[in-house]
Amino acid sequence: MQAFGAPVMSARIRSVPEDFRVEELDGFEASGDGEHLLLTIEKRGMNTGFVAGEIARWAGVPEVAVGYAGLKDRHAVTVQRFSVQLPGREPPPLETLERDGLRVLAQARHKRKLPRGALAGNRFVLVLRGVEGDREAIEERLRQIAARGVPNAFGEQRFGHGGGNIAKALAMFAGKRVGREQRSMLLSAARSALFNQVLAARVADGSWDRGLDGEVWALEGSRSVFGPEPMGEEIAARLARFDIHPSGPLWGRGSLRSEGACQALELAAIADPTALKLREGLERAGLEQERRALRLRPQDLAWRWPDDDVLELAFALPAGCYATSVLDQLGRIEDAAARPLAAGEGGPVPA
């Protein structure tokens, strides 16, 4: 989904977990009292579910008493908040929770369990190694990204290993029984795949960041949309300052909100047989039509060259957006953590 032309570089990422650093940007301040303990934790080589289980065992509570706002990869160094319900009692000593790869950075009391999605966004510091490409061309591409943003695609992790979640979603829609949590994951994967197909069509015709006739506009930093509304001076000005963005469908029951050329493109992009099955399945599942911004602007994008073939990127993204959307516009970035370990290269990692 190249929005700026041919790739300008190749590199690899996550050669070590420290090459992929993510810090959650909190969506609220702790209330200071209540039966939930908020823990800000730095973890390395552990995924979010594993840490949630460790917190539950440490506190002597069922895992359902532990909350977190977002899932974070194990092949990274991440900082995120967890909540644990401790009604009427103090927590065990924090040092009994800490271990190699897990540190508690802060604690605070709060009145409610930390719900999914309760974060403002994520701040990334990414180290790309083995960079091949012309430095001037790479930096020009980064300036383009800073100025225009990038297509707001769902990342490949949404679709499971080898994209297998789509086949599983089709099987579920055909009648295969799945658990409630897996059902939610597969519905999200199906919706995301359809959105990405529409976004790819908008990138192909160059309208992902400028709008079409019949466009529905998404407000920056919000799930709210308005329109259809035609392009005029005010809309153009708001689009230029990233106050609004063109949007695409998150499929469900009901009619598309878009009209005219915009609706025609959306329907044509998801008219293939697999897409039609996904659409029908999502409608039968009871999801309603929603919209998502097609454009994403990384905040505070900065870069430096620690070595001739090493590029460090730093930027922040809103919740629900993917760092791969930025990396994909640079070129071919190999994920070193996705390859199998060679004999003797490493031991098991908690999952």
Sequence-separated (6 or more) residues with CB below 8 Å from residue 198 = 248, 249, 265, 266, 269, 270
What residues does 257 pair with on adjacent strands? none
Report whether 291 contacts 257 (CB < 8 A): yes
Residues 41 and 82: beta-carbon distance below 8 Å:
yes
| pLDDT for residue 160 | 87
Which structure tokens are listed for 52? Answer: 């949630």
Residue 42: φ, ψ to 5°: -100, 125
Known catalytic membership, residue 73: yes
Residue 296 contacts residue 149 (beta carbons within 8 Å): yes
Q: Residue 170 belongs to what H/E stretch?
A: helix 164-173
Distance from the first to the final alpha carbon of the chain: 31
**Secondary structure E strands in the chain:** 9-13, 20-26, 36-44, 66-68, 77-85, 102-110, 119-132, 150-151, 217-219, 225-226, 244-250, 290-293, 295-296, 299-307, 310-318, 331-335
Per-residue model confidence (pLDDT) at position 98: 96
Catalytic residue among 19, 26, 33, 73: 73
pLDDT score at 85: 96
Rg (CA), the chain: 22
pLDDT at 162: 85
pLDDT of residue 117: 87
Q: What is the pLDDT of residue 351?
A: 29
Which pTM was predicted? Answer: 0.89
- What percentage of the chain's residues is helix, strand, coil (to nearest 5)? 30, 30, 40
What gap in Å lies between CA 198 and CA 186, rounded to an integer?
19
Q: What is the pLDDT along the chain (351 residues), one digit of tens a residue?
A: 899 999 999 999 999 999 999 999 998 999 999 999 999 999 999 999 999 999 999 999 999 999 999 888 889 999 999 999 998 889 999 999 999 999 999 999 999 999 988 899 999 999 999 999 999 999 999 999 999 999 999 998 889 888 899 999 999 999 999 999 899 999 999 999 999 999 999 999 999 999 999 999 999 988 899 999 999 999 999 999 999 999 999 999 999 999 999 999 999 999 999 999 999 999 999 999 999 999 999 999 999 999 999 999 999 999 989 999 999 999 999 998 875 433 333 333 232
Provide the pLDDT for residue 71: 87
